[in-house]
Chain A
Amino acid sequence: MIIAGCDVGSLTAKALIMNGRGDILAYDVMKVTPDPVQSAEKIMSHVLKTAELEFKNIDYCISTGYGREKIPFAQKNISEISCHGKGANWISPAIRTVIDIGGQDCKVIRVDKNGELIDFVMNDKCAAGTGRFLEGIAKTLKIELGQLGALSLEGQSPVDITSICTVFTQFDVMHLIVEGTDRADIATGVAKAMATRMHKLVRKVGIKKEVAITGGVAKNQGVLKYLENIIRGTIYQFTDIEPQIVGALGAALFAREEMEKK
Protein backbone atom coordinates (compact mmCIF):
# COMPACT_ATOMS: atom_id res chain seq x y z
CA MET A 1 0.00 0.00 0.00
CA ILE A 2 1.28 3.47 -0.94
CA ILE A 3 -0.21 6.52 0.75
CA ALA A 4 0.64 10.16 0.31
CA GLY A 5 0.19 13.54 1.96
CA CYS A 6 0.51 16.83 0.14
CA ASP A 7 0.67 20.17 1.98
CA VAL A 8 0.51 23.28 -0.20
CA GLY A 9 1.19 26.31 1.97
CA SER A 10 1.45 29.99 1.16
CA LEU A 11 5.23 29.91 0.79
CA THR A 12 6.24 26.24 0.43
CA ALA A 13 4.76 22.98 -0.85
CA LYS A 14 5.53 19.68 0.86
CA ALA A 15 4.84 16.06 -0.06
CA LEU A 16 5.43 12.77 1.76
CA ILE A 17 5.02 9.14 0.71
CA MET A 18 4.58 6.26 3.13
CA ASN A 19 3.91 2.56 2.87
CA GLY A 20 1.21 0.64 4.78
CA ARG A 21 3.59 -0.22 7.64
CA GLY A 22 4.18 3.47 8.30
CA ASP A 23 7.69 3.62 6.81
CA ILE A 24 8.38 7.00 5.23
CA LEU A 25 9.64 6.35 1.70
CA ALA A 26 10.33 9.92 0.61
CA TYR A 27 9.52 13.54 1.36
CA ASP A 28 10.59 17.01 0.30
CA VAL A 29 9.89 20.74 0.52
CA MET A 30 10.03 23.36 -2.22
CA LYS A 31 9.00 26.97 -2.77
CA VAL A 32 5.54 27.40 -4.25
CA THR A 33 4.78 28.85 -7.66
CA PRO A 34 1.75 31.19 -7.86
CA ASP A 35 -0.39 28.24 -8.98
CA PRO A 36 -1.10 25.77 -6.13
CA VAL A 37 -2.04 22.93 -8.53
CA GLN A 38 1.25 23.28 -10.37
CA SER A 39 3.16 23.45 -7.05
CA ALA A 40 1.43 20.29 -5.80
CA GLU A 41 2.10 18.36 -9.00
CA LYS A 42 5.73 19.46 -9.06
CA ILE A 43 6.54 18.47 -5.46
CA MET A 44 4.61 15.19 -5.66
CA SER A 45 6.30 14.15 -8.96
CA HIS A 46 9.66 14.97 -7.42
CA VAL A 47 8.99 12.91 -4.28
CA LEU A 48 7.55 10.01 -6.31
CA LYS A 49 10.69 9.99 -8.42
CA THR A 50 12.87 9.78 -5.29
CA ALA A 51 10.81 6.78 -4.11
CA GLU A 52 10.96 5.30 -7.65
CA LEU A 53 7.17 5.39 -7.92
CA GLU A 54 4.55 6.96 -10.18
CA PHE A 55 1.24 8.77 -9.60
CA LYS A 56 -0.69 5.59 -10.42
CA ASN A 57 1.02 3.76 -7.54
CA ILE A 58 -0.61 6.04 -4.91
CA ASP A 59 -3.53 4.23 -3.25
CA TYR A 60 -4.78 7.21 -1.29
CA CYS A 61 -3.68 10.82 -1.04
CA ILE A 62 -4.90 13.56 1.27
CA SER A 63 -4.12 17.23 0.69
CA THR A 64 -3.80 19.92 3.30
CA GLY A 65 -2.67 23.54 3.62
CA TYR A 66 -3.75 26.80 2.08
CA GLY A 67 -4.24 25.29 -1.41
CA ARG A 68 -5.70 21.95 -0.27
CA GLU A 69 -9.07 22.20 -2.05
CA LYS A 70 -7.51 22.55 -5.48
CA ILE A 71 -5.25 19.48 -5.57
CA PRO A 72 -6.48 17.22 -8.41
CA PHE A 73 -4.69 13.98 -7.38
CA ALA A 74 -5.95 14.01 -3.76
CA GLN A 75 -9.02 11.93 -2.83
CA LYS A 76 -9.77 14.07 0.20
CA ASN A 77 -8.59 17.24 1.93
CA ILE A 78 -8.23 17.86 5.67
CA SER A 79 -7.38 21.11 7.47
CA GLU A 80 -3.72 21.68 8.23
CA ILE A 81 -4.60 22.08 11.91
CA SER A 82 -5.73 18.47 12.22
CA CYS A 83 -2.81 17.29 10.07
CA HIS A 84 -0.19 19.06 12.15
CA GLY A 85 -1.60 17.64 15.37
CA LYS A 86 -1.74 14.18 13.88
CA GLY A 87 1.76 14.28 12.43
CA ALA A 88 3.42 15.64 15.56
CA ASN A 89 1.70 13.12 17.83
CA TRP A 90 2.80 10.25 15.54
CA ILE A 91 6.44 11.31 15.63
CA SER A 92 6.35 11.63 19.39
CA PRO A 93 3.23 10.17 21.11
CA ALA A 94 3.74 12.25 24.30
CA ILE A 95 3.00 15.48 22.36
CA ARG A 96 -0.19 17.26 23.45
CA THR A 97 0.53 20.82 22.24
CA VAL A 98 1.82 21.75 18.80
CA ILE A 99 2.96 25.26 17.97
CA ASP A 100 3.07 25.63 14.22
CA ILE A 101 4.52 28.77 12.73
CA GLY A 102 3.97 28.92 9.01
CA GLY A 103 4.80 31.53 6.42
CA GLN A 104 1.58 33.45 6.80
CA ASP A 105 0.01 32.12 9.97
CA CYS A 106 0.65 30.97 13.49
CA LYS A 107 -1.31 28.20 15.19
CA VAL A 108 -1.35 26.53 18.56
CA ILE A 109 -2.96 23.09 18.47
CA ARG A 110 -3.96 20.84 21.39
CA VAL A 111 -4.38 17.12 20.69
CA ASP A 112 -5.33 14.04 22.71
CA LYS A 113 -3.24 10.88 23.13
CA ASN A 114 -4.35 9.66 19.68
CA GLY A 115 -3.38 12.90 17.98
CA GLU A 116 -7.01 13.94 17.51
CA LEU A 117 -7.75 17.67 17.68
CA ILE A 118 -9.08 19.07 21.00
CA ASP A 119 -8.69 22.84 20.58
CA PHE A 120 -6.68 25.39 18.62
CA VAL A 121 -6.06 29.10 18.12
CA MET A 122 -4.82 30.71 15.00
CA ASN A 123 -3.59 34.08 13.79
CA ASP A 124 -3.78 34.61 10.07
CA LYS A 125 -4.86 38.25 10.15
CA CYS A 126 -1.56 39.93 11.05
CA ALA A 127 1.96 39.07 9.91
CA ALA A 128 3.32 39.59 13.45
CA GLY A 129 4.29 36.22 14.90
CA THR A 130 4.48 34.51 11.50
CA GLY A 131 7.31 33.51 9.19
CA ARG A 132 6.66 36.67 7.17
CA PHE A 133 7.75 38.77 10.14
CA LEU A 134 11.15 37.07 10.31
CA GLU A 135 11.43 37.09 6.52
CA GLY A 136 10.86 40.86 6.52
CA ILE A 137 13.48 41.43 9.22
CA ALA A 138 16.06 39.18 7.50
CA LYS A 139 15.52 41.16 4.31
CA THR A 140 16.04 44.46 6.15
CA LEU A 141 19.19 43.08 7.81
CA LYS A 142 20.31 41.90 4.34
CA ILE A 143 20.89 38.32 5.51
CA GLU A 144 19.34 34.98 4.57
CA LEU A 145 16.33 33.91 6.63
CA GLY A 146 18.32 30.80 7.64
CA GLN A 147 21.08 32.95 9.18
CA LEU A 148 18.74 34.95 11.43
CA GLY A 149 18.38 32.23 14.11
CA ALA A 150 22.13 31.79 14.67
CA LEU A 151 22.67 35.56 14.73
CA SER A 152 19.91 35.98 17.32
CA LEU A 153 21.81 33.73 19.73
CA GLU A 154 24.80 36.09 19.66
CA GLY A 155 23.31 39.37 20.88
CA GLN A 156 24.89 40.71 24.09
CA SER A 157 22.50 43.60 24.76
CA PRO A 158 19.36 42.94 22.72
CA VAL A 159 17.40 45.94 21.47
CA ASP A 160 13.87 46.51 22.66
CA ILE A 161 11.44 46.00 19.79
CA THR A 162 8.36 48.04 20.68
CA SER A 163 6.18 47.57 17.61
CA ILE A 164 4.46 44.30 16.73
CA CYS A 165 3.71 45.36 13.15
CA THR A 166 6.13 43.76 10.66
CA VAL A 167 6.26 46.87 8.47
CA PHE A 168 6.92 49.22 11.39
CA THR A 169 9.51 46.88 12.92
CA GLN A 170 11.34 46.74 9.58
CA PHE A 171 11.51 50.52 9.68
CA ASP A 172 12.76 50.50 13.29
CA VAL A 173 15.44 47.99 12.27
CA MET A 174 16.50 50.23 9.37
CA HIS A 175 16.87 53.07 11.83
CA LEU A 176 18.86 50.89 14.28
CA ILE A 177 21.22 49.94 11.44
CA VAL A 178 21.72 53.63 10.55
CA GLU A 179 22.49 54.33 14.20
CA GLY A 180 25.21 51.66 14.08
CA THR A 181 23.51 49.14 16.38
CA ASP A 182 25.11 45.70 16.42
CA ARG A 183 23.23 43.39 14.05
CA ALA A 184 23.28 40.51 16.55
CA ASP A 185 21.65 42.75 19.16
CA ILE A 186 18.96 43.59 16.62
CA ALA A 187 18.43 39.92 15.68
CA THR A 188 18.22 38.92 19.36
CA GLY A 189 15.69 41.68 20.09
CA VAL A 190 13.63 40.58 17.10
CA ALA A 191 13.67 36.91 18.16
CA LYS A 192 12.57 37.89 21.68
CA ALA A 193 9.74 40.03 20.28
CA MET A 194 8.68 37.12 18.08
CA ALA A 195 8.68 34.70 21.05
CA THR A 196 6.63 37.15 23.15
CA ARG A 197 4.12 37.50 20.36
CA MET A 198 3.84 33.70 19.98
CA HIS A 199 3.39 33.28 23.71
CA LYS A 200 0.35 35.61 23.63
CA LEU A 201 -1.29 33.13 21.27
CA VAL A 202 -0.12 30.06 23.24
CA ARG A 203 -1.76 31.42 26.40
CA LYS A 204 -5.17 31.44 24.70
CA VAL A 205 -5.38 27.61 24.56
CA GLY A 206 -2.95 26.90 27.35
CA ILE A 207 0.08 24.65 27.33
CA LYS A 208 -0.16 20.94 28.01
CA LYS A 209 3.07 18.97 28.02
CA GLU A 210 4.78 17.83 25.95
CA VAL A 211 5.10 20.74 23.54
CA ALA A 212 6.40 20.51 20.00
CA ILE A 213 7.15 23.17 17.44
CA THR A 214 6.67 22.70 13.70
CA GLY A 215 6.73 24.84 10.60
CA GLY A 216 9.57 26.88 9.14
CA VAL A 217 10.17 29.06 12.23
CA ALA A 218 11.04 25.89 14.22
CA LYS A 219 14.42 26.16 12.49
CA ASN A 220 15.10 29.49 14.19
CA GLN A 221 17.08 28.55 17.31
CA GLY A 222 16.81 32.02 18.81
CA VAL A 223 13.02 32.20 18.75
CA LEU A 224 12.88 28.67 20.16
CA LYS A 225 15.23 29.49 23.03
CA TYR A 226 13.35 32.64 24.06
CA LEU A 227 9.99 30.89 23.82
CA GLU A 228 11.32 28.09 26.05
CA ASN A 229 12.44 30.76 28.55
CA ILE A 230 8.96 32.30 28.57
CA ILE A 231 7.03 29.03 28.99
CA ARG A 232 9.70 27.63 31.35
CA GLY A 233 9.86 24.27 29.64
CA THR A 234 11.35 22.28 26.82
CA ILE A 235 9.93 22.52 23.34
CA TYR A 236 10.53 19.44 21.21
CA GLN A 237 11.96 19.86 17.79
CA PHE A 238 11.84 17.01 15.40
CA THR A 239 15.48 16.36 14.67
CA ASP A 240 15.09 13.27 12.51
CA ILE A 241 12.43 14.82 10.31
CA GLU A 242 12.09 18.17 8.57
CA PRO A 243 9.77 20.31 10.80
CA GLN A 244 8.04 21.71 7.74
CA ILE A 245 6.92 18.23 6.66
CA VAL A 246 4.73 17.48 9.72
CA GLY A 247 1.52 18.66 8.03
CA ALA A 248 2.11 16.43 5.00
CA LEU A 249 2.97 13.56 7.35
CA GLY A 250 -0.31 14.04 9.23
CA ALA A 251 -2.18 14.09 5.90
CA ALA A 252 -0.52 10.79 4.93
CA LEU A 253 -1.45 9.26 8.31
CA PHE A 254 -5.09 10.27 7.79
CA ALA A 255 -4.85 8.72 4.31
CA ARG A 256 -3.65 5.48 5.90
CA GLU A 257 -6.65 5.53 8.26
CA GLU A 258 -8.93 5.98 5.24
CA MET A 259 -7.36 2.91 3.60
CA GLU A 260 -7.74 0.89 6.79
CA LYS A 261 -11.47 1.74 6.89
CA LYS A 262 -11.91 0.18 3.44
Chain B
Amino acid sequence: MFLGCDIGTGFTKAVLLNEVGIKATITIPTEADPRTAGKDAVEKILKTAGIKDSELKSSAATGWGKSYFPLKSKKENLINCLVAGAGHILPSCRTLLDIGAQQTLAIAINDRGQILEYRQNDRCAGGSGRFMDIISEALGTSLENMSDLAIDAEDKVLITNQCAVFAESEVITRVNDGKPVAAILAGIVDSIGRSLITLVKRISIQDDLMISGGLAKNRALVKFLEEHLGKSIQPARPDPQLVAALGAALLAKEDYK
Protein backbone atom coordinates (compact mmCIF):
# COMPACT_ATOMS: atom_id res chain seq x y z
CA MET B 1 0.00 0.00 0.00
CA PHE B 2 1.11 3.54 -0.82
CA LEU B 3 -0.17 6.72 0.81
CA GLY B 4 -0.26 10.25 -0.57
CA CYS B 5 -1.35 13.19 1.56
CA ASP B 6 -1.98 16.77 0.42
CA ILE B 7 -2.17 19.14 3.41
CA GLY B 8 -3.78 22.21 1.86
CA THR B 9 -4.76 25.54 3.40
CA GLY B 10 -8.43 24.57 3.06
CA PHE B 11 -8.57 20.78 3.24
CA THR B 12 -6.28 17.86 3.92
CA LYS B 13 -6.72 15.06 1.43
CA ALA B 14 -5.27 11.54 1.51
CA VAL B 15 -5.30 8.76 -1.09
CA LEU B 16 -4.35 5.13 -0.42
CA LEU B 17 -3.20 3.08 -3.41
CA ASN B 18 -2.82 -0.66 -3.74
CA GLU B 19 -1.38 -2.50 -6.75
CA VAL B 20 -4.60 -2.18 -8.75
CA GLY B 21 -5.79 1.33 -7.94
CA ILE B 22 -7.34 3.57 -5.31
CA LYS B 23 -8.15 1.64 -2.13
CA ALA B 24 -9.40 4.54 0.01
CA THR B 25 -9.61 8.34 0.09
CA ILE B 26 -10.32 10.91 2.77
CA THR B 27 -10.91 14.68 2.87
CA ILE B 28 -10.96 16.65 6.14
CA PRO B 29 -10.79 20.41 6.86
CA THR B 30 -7.27 21.56 7.81
CA GLU B 31 -8.52 24.43 10.02
CA ALA B 32 -5.07 26.06 10.03
CA ASP B 33 -3.73 23.10 12.03
CA PRO B 34 -1.65 21.02 9.59
CA ARG B 35 -0.16 18.88 12.38
CA THR B 36 -3.53 17.62 13.64
CA ALA B 37 -5.03 17.43 10.15
CA GLY B 38 -2.13 15.32 8.84
CA LYS B 39 -2.32 12.96 11.84
CA ASP B 40 -6.11 12.62 11.62
CA ALA B 41 -6.02 12.00 7.87
CA VAL B 42 -3.52 9.14 8.28
CA GLU B 43 -5.43 7.54 11.17
CA LYS B 44 -8.79 7.83 9.41
CA ILE B 45 -7.68 6.51 6.03
CA LEU B 46 -5.92 3.50 7.60
CA LYS B 47 -9.03 2.77 9.65
CA THR B 48 -11.28 3.08 6.58
CA ALA B 49 -9.05 0.69 4.63
CA GLY B 50 -8.70 -1.59 7.65
CA ILE B 51 -4.88 -1.71 7.53
CA LYS B 52 -2.01 -0.94 9.92
CA ASP B 53 0.64 1.67 9.19
CA SER B 54 3.21 -1.14 9.01
CA GLU B 55 1.45 -2.27 5.83
CA LEU B 56 2.38 1.00 4.13
CA LYS B 57 5.32 0.46 1.82
CA SER B 58 5.91 4.17 1.41
CA SER B 59 4.16 7.52 1.66
CA ALA B 60 4.59 11.10 0.39
CA ALA B 61 3.26 14.44 1.56
CA THR B 62 2.62 17.62 -0.38
CA GLY B 63 0.80 20.96 -0.12
CA TRP B 64 1.14 23.95 2.18
CA GLY B 65 1.46 21.88 5.38
CA LYS B 66 3.60 18.99 4.08
CA SER B 67 6.39 19.62 6.61
CA TYR B 68 3.95 18.77 9.42
CA PHE B 69 3.07 15.32 8.00
CA PRO B 70 3.51 12.78 10.84
CA LEU B 71 4.95 9.81 8.89
CA LYS B 72 8.54 9.52 7.74
CA SER B 73 8.04 10.30 4.10
CA LYS B 74 9.25 12.26 1.12
CA LYS B 75 7.98 15.82 0.79
CA GLU B 76 6.92 16.40 -2.78
CA ASN B 77 6.44 19.62 -4.73
CA LEU B 78 2.73 20.37 -5.27
CA ILE B 79 3.07 20.97 -9.01
CA ASN B 80 4.83 17.63 -9.52
CA CYS B 81 2.05 15.89 -7.60
CA LEU B 82 -0.68 17.64 -9.58
CA VAL B 83 0.95 16.67 -12.87
CA ALA B 84 1.46 13.04 -11.76
CA GLY B 85 -2.18 12.84 -10.60
CA ALA B 86 -3.52 14.50 -13.74
CA GLY B 87 -1.50 12.18 -16.02
CA HIS B 88 -2.94 9.15 -14.24
CA ILE B 89 -6.53 10.38 -14.43
CA LEU B 90 -6.38 11.66 -18.01
CA PRO B 91 -3.18 10.75 -19.90
CA SER B 92 -4.11 13.15 -22.71
CA CYS B 93 -4.24 16.14 -20.30
CA ARG B 94 -1.98 18.96 -21.61
CA THR B 95 -3.35 21.86 -19.57
CA LEU B 96 -4.27 21.65 -15.90
CA LEU B 97 -6.00 24.41 -13.99
CA ASP B 98 -5.92 23.83 -10.23
CA ILE B 99 -7.91 26.08 -7.90
CA GLY B 100 -6.94 25.60 -4.30
CA ALA B 101 -8.12 27.58 -1.30
CA GLN B 102 -5.22 30.04 -1.50
CA GLN B 103 -3.28 29.10 -4.61
CA THR B 104 -4.34 28.96 -8.24
CA LEU B 105 -2.13 27.18 -10.77
CA ALA B 106 -2.18 26.90 -14.55
CA ILE B 107 0.19 24.16 -15.77
CA ALA B 108 1.15 23.21 -19.33
CA ILE B 109 2.14 19.53 -19.68
CA ASN B 110 3.78 17.78 -22.65
CA ASP B 111 2.94 14.34 -24.13
CA ARG B 112 5.51 12.69 -21.87
CA GLY B 113 3.82 14.08 -18.77
CA GLN B 114 6.53 16.70 -18.14
CA ILE B 115 5.89 20.26 -17.02
CA LEU B 116 6.42 22.77 -19.85
CA GLU B 117 5.51 25.92 -17.95
CA TYR B 118 3.24 27.10 -15.17
CA ARG B 119 1.84 30.30 -13.69
CA GLN B 120 0.45 30.77 -10.20
CA ASN B 121 -1.40 33.26 -8.06
CA ASP B 122 -0.82 32.94 -4.36
CA ARG B 123 -0.63 36.65 -3.51
CA CYS B 124 -4.26 37.72 -3.57
CA ALA B 125 -7.46 35.96 -2.47
CA GLY B 126 -9.31 37.39 -5.48
CA GLY B 127 -10.24 34.45 -7.70
CA SER B 128 -9.24 31.83 -5.11
CA GLY B 129 -11.26 29.08 -3.52
CA ARG B 130 -11.30 31.02 -0.27
CA PHE B 131 -12.98 33.92 -2.08
CA MET B 132 -15.91 31.61 -2.81
CA ASP B 133 -15.95 30.37 0.83
CA ILE B 134 -16.16 33.95 2.10
CA ILE B 135 -19.06 34.76 -0.22
CA SER B 136 -20.87 31.54 0.65
CA GLU B 137 -20.54 32.36 4.35
CA ALA B 138 -21.75 35.94 3.80
CA LEU B 139 -24.80 34.68 1.92
CA GLY B 140 -25.40 31.73 4.22
CA THR B 141 -25.57 29.22 1.34
CA SER B 142 -23.60 26.03 0.81
CA LEU B 143 -21.00 25.85 -1.96
CA GLU B 144 -23.05 23.21 -3.86
CA ASN B 145 -26.16 25.35 -3.62
CA MET B 146 -24.19 28.37 -4.87
CA SER B 147 -23.17 26.57 -8.04
CA ASP B 148 -26.77 25.50 -8.76
CA LEU B 149 -28.12 29.01 -8.13
CA ALA B 150 -25.45 30.66 -10.28
CA ILE B 151 -25.90 28.30 -13.22
CA ASP B 152 -29.65 28.91 -13.31
CA ALA B 153 -29.41 32.69 -12.82
CA GLU B 154 -31.23 34.77 -15.42
CA ASP B 155 -29.51 38.03 -14.53
CA LYS B 156 -26.02 38.92 -13.44
CA VAL B 157 -24.99 41.59 -10.94
CA LEU B 158 -21.54 42.93 -11.79
CA ILE B 159 -19.16 42.64 -8.82
CA THR B 160 -16.60 45.40 -9.26
CA ASN B 161 -14.20 44.55 -6.42
CA GLN B 162 -11.43 42.06 -7.07
CA CYS B 163 -10.40 42.07 -3.38
CA ALA B 164 -12.22 39.34 -1.44
CA VAL B 165 -12.69 41.58 1.60
CA PHE B 166 -14.24 44.40 -0.44
CA ALA B 167 -16.25 42.00 -2.62
CA GLU B 168 -17.81 40.55 0.54
CA SER B 169 -19.03 44.05 1.53
CA GLU B 170 -20.19 44.64 -2.03
CA VAL B 171 -22.21 41.42 -1.98
CA ILE B 172 -23.86 42.39 1.32
CA THR B 173 -24.71 45.83 -0.11
CA ARG B 174 -26.26 44.21 -3.20
CA VAL B 175 -28.36 41.88 -1.02
CA ASN B 176 -29.56 44.91 0.95
CA ASP B 177 -30.37 46.63 -2.37
CA GLY B 178 -32.77 43.75 -2.99
CA LYS B 179 -30.80 42.06 -5.79
CA PRO B 180 -31.54 38.33 -6.21
CA VAL B 181 -28.94 36.05 -4.63
CA ALA B 182 -28.68 33.98 -7.84
CA ALA B 183 -27.76 37.07 -9.89
CA ILE B 184 -25.13 38.10 -7.31
CA LEU B 185 -23.65 34.60 -7.39
CA ALA B 186 -23.51 34.71 -11.18
CA GLY B 187 -21.52 37.94 -10.78
CA ILE B 188 -19.15 36.25 -8.32
CA VAL B 189 -18.58 33.31 -10.68
CA ASP B 190 -17.84 35.88 -13.38
CA SER B 191 -15.31 37.65 -11.14
CA ILE B 192 -13.47 34.42 -10.22
CA GLY B 193 -13.71 33.22 -13.83
CA ARG B 194 -12.15 36.41 -15.19
CA SER B 195 -9.10 36.17 -12.92
CA LEU B 196 -8.67 32.48 -13.82
CA ILE B 197 -8.85 33.29 -17.54
CA THR B 198 -6.13 35.93 -17.07
CA LEU B 199 -3.92 33.37 -15.33
CA VAL B 200 -4.47 30.50 -17.75
CA LYS B 201 -3.90 32.72 -20.79
CA ARG B 202 -0.37 33.33 -19.59
CA ILE B 203 0.55 29.76 -20.56
CA SER B 204 0.10 28.08 -23.93
CA ILE B 205 -3.26 26.29 -23.76
CA GLN B 206 -3.43 22.85 -25.42
CA ASP B 207 -6.15 20.19 -25.43
CA ASP B 208 -7.11 18.32 -23.32
CA LEU B 209 -7.92 20.70 -20.49
CA MET B 210 -8.57 19.43 -17.00
CA ILE B 211 -9.61 21.34 -13.89
CA SER B 212 -8.87 20.31 -10.31
CA GLY B 213 -9.25 21.69 -6.79
CA GLY B 214 -12.40 22.40 -4.82
CA LEU B 215 -13.82 24.98 -7.25
CA ALA B 216 -13.69 22.43 -10.11
CA LYS B 217 -16.93 21.12 -8.56
CA ASN B 218 -18.64 24.42 -9.32
CA ARG B 219 -20.48 23.73 -12.59
CA ALA B 220 -21.26 27.40 -13.17
CA LEU B 221 -17.56 28.28 -13.02
CA VAL B 222 -16.53 25.43 -15.34
CA LYS B 223 -19.24 26.52 -17.81
CA PHE B 224 -17.96 30.12 -17.68
CA LEU B 225 -14.38 28.99 -18.34
CA GLU B 226 -15.46 26.72 -21.23
CA GLU B 227 -17.39 29.56 -22.84
CA HIS B 228 -14.56 32.08 -22.51
CA LEU B 229 -11.76 29.75 -23.59
CA GLY B 230 -13.86 28.14 -26.32
CA LYS B 231 -12.69 24.72 -25.15
CA SER B 232 -14.17 21.83 -23.28
CA ILE B 233 -12.83 21.31 -19.74
CA GLN B 234 -13.08 18.09 -17.76
CA PRO B 235 -13.28 18.16 -13.97
CA ALA B 236 -10.80 15.59 -12.61
CA ARG B 237 -12.38 12.25 -11.77
CA PRO B 238 -13.34 10.79 -9.38
CA ASP B 239 -12.93 13.84 -7.17
CA PRO B 240 -11.19 17.05 -8.37
CA GLN B 241 -9.94 17.80 -4.85
CA LEU B 242 -7.87 14.60 -4.70
CA VAL B 243 -5.52 15.10 -7.70
CA ALA B 244 -2.45 16.24 -5.73
CA ALA B 245 -2.93 13.57 -3.02
CA LEU B 246 -3.28 10.91 -5.73
CA GLY B 247 -0.17 12.26 -7.43
CA ALA B 248 1.74 12.10 -4.13
CA ALA B 249 0.68 8.45 -3.68
CA LEU B 250 1.80 7.67 -7.26
CA LEU B 251 5.17 9.33 -6.63
CA ALA B 252 5.53 7.35 -3.38
CA LYS B 253 4.84 4.16 -5.32
CA GLU B 254 7.34 5.09 -8.05
CA ASP B 255 9.92 5.99 -5.43
CA TYR B 256 9.55 2.61 -3.75
CA LYS B 257 10.36 0.68 -6.92
When the two chains form their complex, are residues A125 and B33 in contact, meaning their CB atoms are under 8 A apart? no
Residues of B within 8 A of A127 (CB): 163-166
Nearest neighbor of A105 in chain B, beta-carbon distance: B166
Q: CB < 8 Å: which of B33, B163, B173 contacts A175?
A: B33
Complex CA gap A178/B7 in Å reads 15
When the two chains form their complex, are residues B163 and A34 in contact, meaning their CB atoms are under 8 A apart? no
Determine if A166 is an interface residue (Cβ-Cβ < 8 Å): yes
Interface of A is mostly: helix
Complex CA gap A136/B163 in Å reads 14
> Range of interface residues on chain B?
20 to 34
Q: CB < 8 Å: which of A10, A125, A165 contacts B123?
A: A165
**Count, chain A residues at interface, CB 8 A:** 20
Most buried by A among B131, B134, B163: B163
Determine if A55 is an interface residue (Cβ-Cβ < 8 Å): no
Complex CA gap A177/B32 in Å reads 9
Complex CA gap A121/B131 in Å reads 27
When the two chains form their complex, are residues A167 and B32 in contact, meaning their CB atoms are under 8 A apart? no
Residues of A within 8 A of B31 (CB): 174
When the two chains form their complex, are residues A174 and B32 in contact, meaning their CB atoms are under 8 A apart? yes
When the two chains form their complex, are residues A167 and B33 in contact, meaning their CB atoms are under 8 A apart? no
Within 8 A of A (CB), among B123-171: 123-125, 128, 130-131, 134, 161-166, 169
Within 8 A of B (CB), among A152-185: 163-168, 171, 174-175, 177-178
When the two chains form their complex, are residues B163 and A125 in contact, meaning their CB atoms are under 8 A apart? yes
A-B contact pairs, 16 of them (CB 8 A): A125-B163, A126-B124, A126-B166, A127-B166, A132-B165, A132-B166, A136-B165, A165-B124, A167-B125, A167-B128, A167-B130, A167-B165, A171-B9, A174-B32, A175-B34, A177-B32
A residues contacting B by CB (< 8 A) are 10, 34, 104, 125-127, 132-133, 136, 163-168, 171, 174-175, 177-178
